[in-house]
Structure 1
Amino acid sequence: MPMSRRALAAAAVTALVLPLSACGSSDGGGGATADASGKVEGDITFETWNLRANFKDYFEGLIADFEKKYPGTHVKWIDQPAEGYADKISADAAGGTLPDVVNVSPDLAAPLAKSGLALDLDKAAAKYRSEYLPGAWAGHQVPGMTGTYAFPWYLNTGPLFYNKTLFAQAGLDAAKPPRTYDELFADALQLAHKSGGKVATLANVPTIEDFGRYGSSLMNKAGTGFAFNDAKGIELLTKYKELYDAKALDPQVLTATPESTGKKFLTGAVAMNPGSALDLDHFKKQAPSLYKNIGITDQITSTGHVNMYVMGLMVNSRTKRAPAAVTFAHYVTDAEHQMSFAKKVAIFPSTAGSLDDPYFTKEDGTDETRVRVAAAKSLKNAVNYTPVLFSEQMKTALRNEVAKALQGKQSPKEALDNAVKACDLLLQQQG
Structure 2
Amino acid sequence: MPVSRRNLAAALAVCVVLPLSACGSGDDGGGSSDASGKIEGDITFQTWNLRANFKDYFEGLIADFEKKYPGTNVKWVDQPAEGYADKISADAAGGTLPDVVNVSPDLVAPLAKAGLAADLDKDAAQYKKEYLDGAWASHRIPGMGGTYAFPWYLNTGPLFYNKSLFKEAGLDADQPPTTYDELFANALTIAEKTDGKVATLANVPTVEDFGRYGVPLMNDEGTGFAFNDAKGVELLTKYKELYDAKALDPQALTATPESSGKKFLTEAVAMNPGSALDLGNFKKQAPNLYKNIGITDQITSTGHVNMYVMGVMVNSQTKRKPAAVAFAHYVTDAEHQMSFAKKVAIFPSTAGSLDDPYFTKEDGTDETRVRIAAAKSLKNAVNYTPVLFSEQMKTELRNEVAKALQGKESPKEALDNAVEACDRLLQQQG
TM-score by length of 2: 0.91
Letter of the 2:94 counterpart: G
The equivalent of 2:110 in structure 1 is 111
The equivalent of 1:357 in structure 2 is 356
The equivalent of 2:343 in structure 1 is 344
Kindly report the root-mean-square deviation, in angstroms, between the aligned alpha carbons of the 2 structures. 2.2
The equivalent of 1:194 in structure 2 is 193
In structure 2, the residue corresponding to 1:363 is in which secondary structure?
Answer: coil
2-structure distance, mates of 1:8, 1:154: 15
1-structure distance, mates of 2:148, 2:400: 32
The equivalent of 1:377 in structure 2 is 376
Do the aligned partners of residues 332 and 302 (structure 1) sit closer, same or farther apart at CA in structure 2, a change above 3 Å counting?
A: same
In structure 2, the residue corresponding to 1:7 is in which secondary structure?
Answer: coil
Q: Is the 8 A contact 1:33 1:119 kept in 2?
A: no
Where do residues 244-393 of structure 1 align in structure 2 (5 Å cutoff)? Answer: 244-393=243-392
Q: Is the 8 A contact 1:281 1:367 kept in 2?
A: no
Q: Is the 8 A contact 1:305 1:382 kept in 2?
A: yes
Do the aligned partners of residues 48 and 190 (structure 1) sit closer, same or farther apart at CA in structure 2, a change above 3 Å counting?
A: same
The equivalent of 2:12 in structure 1 is 5
2-structure distance, mates of 1:283, 1:83: 29
Q: Is the 8 A contact 2:276 2:345 kept in 1?
A: no
Letter of the 2:403 counterpart: K
The equivalent of 1:157 in structure 2 is 156
2-structure distance, mates of 1:350, 1:8: 20
Q: Is the 8 A contact 1:161 1:274 kept in 2?
A: yes
The equivalent of 1:209 in structure 2 is 208
Do the aligned partners of residues 95 and 8 (structure 1) sit closer, same or farther apart at CA in structure 2, a change above 3 Å counting?
A: farther
Q: Is the 8 A contact 1:342 1:349 kept in 2?
A: yes
2-structure distance, mates of 1:55, 1:193: 49
Q: Is the 8 A contact 2:200 2:249 kept in 1?
A: yes
Q: Is the 8 A contact 1:296 1:374 kept in 2?
A: no
Matched, 1:410 2:417: no
**Alpha-carbon shift at residue 58 of structure 1 (Å):** 0.6
Cα deviation 1:217-269 (Å, max 9, x = unaligned): 11122222211111221111011111112221112221222232223222322
Where do residues 122-133 of structure 1 align in structure 2 (5 Å cutoff)? Answer: 122-133=121-132
In structure 2, the residue corresponding to 1:45 is in which secondary structure?
Answer: strand
The equivalent of 1:18 in structure 2 is none
Letter of the 1:5 counterpart: L
In structure 1, the residue corresponding to 2:136 is in which secondary structure?
Answer: helix
Cα deviation 1:74-99 (Å, max 9, x = unaligned): 11112211111111111111121111
Letter of the 1:7 counterpart: V
Cα deviation 1:169-211 (Å, max 9, x = unaligned): 3333322222232221122122223333222110110011101
In structure 2, the residue corresponding to 1:117 is in which secondary structure?
Answer: coil
Moved over 6 A (4+): none
Letter of the 1:264 counterpart: K
In structure 2, the residue corresponding to 1:227 is in which secondary structure?
Answer: coil
Q: Indicate the larger mover: 205-214 or 418-427.
A: 418-427
Q: Is the 8 A contact 1:12 1:310 kept in 2?
A: no
The equivalent of 2:43 in structure 1 is 44
2-structure distance, mates of 1:233, 1:9: 36
2-structure distance, mates of 1:386, 1:403: 19
Letter of the 1:83 counterpart: E
**Residue-pair matches, total:** 414
In structure 1, the residue corresponding to 2:283 is in which secondary structure?
Answer: helix
**Alpha-carbon shift at residue 366 of structure 1 (Å):** 4.0
**Alpha-carbon shift at residue 378 of structure 1 (Å):** 1.7
The equivalent of 2:145 in structure 1 is 146
2-structure distance, mates of 1:349, 1:33: 30
Seq. identity, %: 84
Unmatched tracts of structure 1, length 5 or more: 16-26
Do the aligned partners of residues 401 and 10 (structure 1) sit closer, same or farther apart at CA in structure 2, a change above 3 Å counting?
A: farther
TM-score by length of 1: 0.91
The equivalent of 2:237 in structure 1 is 238
Q: Is the 8 A contact 1:144 1:223 kept in 2?
A: yes
**Alpha-carbon shift at residue 397 of structure 1 (Å):** 1.0
Letter of the 2:200 counterpart: T
Letter of the 1:215 counterpart: G
Q: Is the 8 A contact 1:11 1:82 kept in 2?
A: no
1-structure distance, mates of 2:17, 2:285: 25
1-structure distance, mates of 2:46, 2:215: 35
Matched, 1:176 2:170: no
Q: Indicate the larger mover: 167-176 or 355-364.
A: 167-176
